[in-house]
Structure 1
Amino acid sequence: MQNDNQKCGLSETKTGLFVDELFIESYVWYEKNWMHDDYEHMHQRYQLTYVTEGYQYFHIEQEIYLVPQNHVIWIPSNIKHRTTSEAKTVNLMTVLFKSVSDQDFYKDIHIFPAPPVLKEMLLYAYKWNKLLSEDEEQISFLKAILQSLPHFCNENEFLKIPVPADFRLIPVCNYINSNYQSNFDINNLAEIAQMSVRSLQRIFKNETGITLQKYMQLIRILKSIELINNEQYTLSEIAFKVGYKSLSAFTSSYFSMMKSKPKLKN
């Protein structure tokens, strides 16, 4: 049985601090209609989260990571993060690992689409959902998932939204996030940042690693993923809602980032 103060199998001793009191090596947690606390927290265990339905944003340090449906995120231990989502339904499976190998992969955050074999393995792992004891099969099976992750990882860097540290750029990002449907005027953005156009372009690229144009494209595509998830619009309607003048232009932009064409669930 789970105690009232347990979340993801870990005991929350105070807000945002999860203490590992489990004796098992790996713990499986699957939850429908996920409602995670909207505050920063961290786990002592390593975290693998698979989004089976909906999407989830992970806010980690100066980055915001989007994990769409059928994608996984790997978070090393003791990394502060919080989650948000406006999806109608968010179903997640999380596997928490007590220890990992010294391989560099496990030291960094990774987001990538779950290949069919990994999906099937994670769905099979549901049989151990919330169990506080483990048997030989569970130990070997979850260890196989853990050891296979570096080979499954086909990372998409564009699922990461950079957040600049320079306070002058925050209003610029906020403006683009609120007005992504329209093409922005670079002079207007420079005025918002209270700097020259050349300085804005240079500092934004240095702070985020991408240009203002690429940032706009990134926001549009991530917003389209949200709309696709809501299942209320056609792809043509979604294309116009996020600022593209044609479905073909939207499809091309989407493919350049996601490496797949946009498609509705049904």
Structure 2
Amino acid sequence: MNLQNQHINESGLLELPQALVAWARDYADGEEIELHHHSKIQLLYASSGVMRLLTNDQAWIVPQNTAVLIPAYLDHAILMHGNVEMRSLYLNDTAPRTISNGIEVVAVSPLMCELILALCNEPTVIQPESRGDLLSKLLFDELSRMEELSLSIPMPQEFRLQKICSLILEDPSNQDTLELWSEKIGASSRTISRLFEKDIGISFGRWRQLVRFHHAMEGLAKGEAVKVVAAKCGYGSASAFSYAFHKEMGVSPTSLFSDQ
């Protein structure tokens, strides 16, 4: 973190009049930032480790080479998996990207990564025509080119589904069928299946698979072996897990964190 950042707390950053402010902070595995919000758009990036972002109705996984765009005033919490080197950018309303009312996980190009890291090493207060000013202008251009990724887990509003989903989030290896869940919550398997499609928009099996892959990325970020992660996610073999993971995520689990 640069010296000027050491003398300005995070809340003070939001009062600066410039279009973009950078902030750097490191967290240990398992640390959590409780529910909060900011008065500016936040671009949240980790140069190492994995973050899980939570709102009242969704969860996101933020692995390496991705960042998350958080709209102003949206309440969110963050859980760290692995030692996380968090780098944040706070953007004012002139950001060249339309931010919806929801969170977006976006791909971070090698250039964008270097720009974020470089800007975090510049003085917090950016002077016109300074190196920080030039980096900011280039970063704003890259921001408009970032591709949104589908790395969210939708959470239900229906109280019976909330019980099922909370238990699976706690134990992604859970293999209970819809018939077993129907006995636990007092609704037929057909009703549960229909509620998943209506409330969340995807099937029960698809939702559980998303949870498992999120959990897998958290384990991989900590350096766990693929066979260990596969077992924790309910797969009988590492090869079956690797095939399903590659089909869904577009990369193999071994290559996802190969630079660590």
Same fold (TM over 0.5): yes
> CA 1:80/1:241 → structure 2, altered by over 3 Å: closer, same or farther?
closer
| Map of 2:23 onto structure 1 | 29
Offset of residue 183 of structure 1: 2.2
Instruction: Give yes or no for contact 2:96–2:143 (8 Å, CA) kept in 1.
Output: no
Structure 2 residue runs of 5 or longer lacking an equivalent are none
Q: 1:126 aligns with which of 110, 113, 120?
A: 120
Query: CA separation in 2, counterparts of 1:141 and 1:133?
Result: 10
Q: After superposition, what is the alpha-carbon deviation per residue over 1:107-153, rounded to whole angstroms, capped at 9, x for unaligned? A: 64210231222112222223226x23433242342133223223221
Q: Which residue of 2 aligns with 1:55?
A: 50
The runs of at least 4 consecutive aligned structure 1 residues that moved more than 3 Å come to: 1-5, 34-38, 101-108
Provide, for residues 43-102 of structure 1, a one-character-per-residue CA deviation record: whole Å limited to 9, x for no partner. 1111111111111111123111111122100112221212122x2311111011122257
Distance, in Å, in 2 between the alignment partners of 1:69 and 1:48 is 14
Q: TM-score, normalised by structure 1?
A: 0.84
The normalised TM-score by structure 2 is 0.86
Output the CA distance in 1 between the equivalents of 2:97 and 2:169. 37
% identical equivalent positions: 22
Residues 202 and 112 of structure 1, relative CA distance in 2, 3 Å threshold? same
- Counterpart of 2:210 in structure 1 is 218
| C-alpha separation in 1, matches of 2:232 and 2:118 | 38
Out of 105, 109, 113, the residue aligned to residue 103 of structure 2 is: 109
Contact 1:171 1:192 survives alignment (8 Å): no
Match of 1:78 among 56, 59, 73: 73
User: 109, 125, 128: which one pairs with 1:135?
Assistant: 128
User: Quick one: which of 184, 189, 192 aligns to 2:184?
Assistant: 192
- Residue 42 (structure 1) aligned with residue 33 (structure 2): no
Q: Greater relative contact order (Cα 8 A, min sep 6): structure 1 or 2?
A: 2
Relative to 1, partners in 2 of residues 1:37 and 1:253: Cα closer, same or farther, differing over 3 Å?
closer
Three-state SS of the structure 1 residue aligned to 2:236 is: coil
The aligned length equals 252
